[in-house]
A and B are shown apart, each in its own frame.
Chain A
Amino acid sequence: MKALLAPFAAVFLVTFLAAPTMGAGWYWDAGNGIGFAAFAGLLYLSLTSNRRIDVRAHQLLGYGVLFVAVGHACWYLLGDAVVVEFMKPGAPAYMWHGIVSLLMLGILITVALVPDRNRVHKDYPTFRYWHRVLSVAIIATATYHIVVSNFYLHAWYQELLFVLLALAAVFARQHWTAYGGLPITKTSVYVAVSVLFATVFTIIRNLPA
């Protein structure tokens, strides 16, 4: 549980370092709270990956993160008719990064287990290599999506910390896994923590002045 709370706390804390009560209405802030929860889930998936991984737990949690990320997209698409313009040609680069990140996450998860894996990759090392490359690409594009959209990271040091956070989760992973790896939490716990953090995020952002 502590291992799950760490990326959540870090991600949400960075968003609050500057102008913590500046929001854009409960609807907008709740949607972005869900998005930050999905990003924290991505970092947690990376931190808990190692050679002795519980594959089933990793897969289920991956689906959990994917559904929270899809929830972030659907939240806006359903409630605000203008957001759909951000999914068409001509949309800003940061939105295309978000879309590509989500698509890559979907592909990564749905072809990760046999028999689908065997259809795509000739052997296990090849699969591991491309699974890792794709996961780094997903976190990189999601980081770009969040940092460049600039909705909550207004100060330069917030952007820097956010990038460092992503880099730490991706490239300092060996440091964490060297000690036997972190435990993988249940998907239901991850979803509950996501709802909790997104709710607190929304409330703080919409406190009366």
Chain B
Amino acid sequence: MKIVFGILVLTIVMIVVFGSPVAKEKPVRDFYFEAPKKILPMTFAHIDHLPVNCIECHHNYVDDTGGGLCMNCHVSNKQVWPLLENQFHDLCRGCHAEKAALGEEGGPPRECIDCHLGDDSP
């Protein structure tokens, strides 16, 4: 049993180091949006979100906290940058989960990979 467990632990370590041998798509960390550190790619299709009020995401339209693309502030502002992962997970996942709970169209995100592929991925 201990040997089997040891092999499983080794397998997990190998997957963490070298990646999954069976996962079809593998995102590549890079300095997207001129981020100070390598981050995962993210995808967002405006066309799929047309029924959503713009200010649900574009808070700067009403609170005058900046302009341009979301990432202009969320990766370049030293105060906001550390919150990137939490803020975007909460915003995207929270909204999808809320809609699903209310029975509205737009299910929650599926696997992590469904959001963490670049916009030019198939």
Query: Closest B-chain residue to A62, C-beta based?
Result: B1
Tell me if A63 is interfacial: C-beta within 8 Å of chain B. yes
Tell me if A81 is interfacial: C-beta within 8 Å of chain B. yes
| In contact, A78 and B112 (Cβ under 8 angstroms) | no
| In contact, B97 and A78 (Cβ under 8 angstroms) | no
Q: How large is the interface on B (under 10, 10 to 19, 20 to 34, 35 or more residues)?
A: 20 to 34
| In contact, A81 and B8 (Cβ under 8 angstroms) | no
| In contact, B110 and A81 (Cβ under 8 angstroms) | no
Tell me if B9 is interfacial: C-beta within 8 Å of chain A. yes
- Report the number of A-B residue pairs with Cβ-Cβ less than 8 Å: 87
The residues in B between 2 and 32 inclusive whose CB is less than 8 angstroms from any CB of A are 2, 4-5, 8-9, 11-12, 15-16, 19-23, 25-27
Give the CA-CA distance A92 to B112 in the complex, in Å.
14
| In contact, B20 and A78 (Cβ under 8 angstroms) | yes
| In contact, A154 and B101 (Cβ under 8 angstroms) | yes
| In contact, A19 and B100 (Cβ under 8 angstroms) | yes
Task: Report chain A residues within 8 Å CB of B113.
Answer: 80-82
Give the CA-CA distance A82 to B85 in the complex, in Å.
13
Task: Report chain A residues within 8 Å CB of B1.
Answer: 63
| In contact, A79 and B111 (Cβ under 8 angstroms) | yes
| In contact, A28 and B110 (Cβ under 8 angstroms) | yes
Query: Closest A-chain residue to B90, C-beta based?
Result: A150
Q: How many residues of A contact B (CB 8 A)?
A: 31
Interface residues of chain A: helix, strand, loop or mixed (majority): helix
Tell me if B35 is interfacial: C-beta within 8 Å of chain A. no
Once A19-B101, A28-B111, A63-B1 are accepted as A-B contacts, the answer to whether A81 and B27 lie under 8 Å apart by CB is: yes
Tell me if B95 is interfacial: C-beta within 8 Å of chain A. no
Tell me if A27 is interfacial: C-beta within 8 Å of chain B. yes
Besides the contacts A80-B20, A82-B40, A110-B5, what 12 more A-B pairs have beta carbons closer than 8 Å?
A22-B101, A24-B111, A67-B4, A67-B5, A70-B9, A70-B12, A74-B8, A77-B16, A78-B15, A85-B112, A109-B5, A154-B101
Which residues of B are at the interface with A, using a C-beta cutoff of 8 A? 1-2, 4-5, 8-9, 11-12, 15-16, 19-23, 25-27, 40, 85-86, 97, 100-101, 103, 107-113, 116
Which residues of A are at the interface with B, using a C-beta cutoff of 8 A? 18-19, 22-25, 27-28, 63, 66-67, 70, 73-74, 77-85, 87-88, 92, 106, 109-110, 154, 209
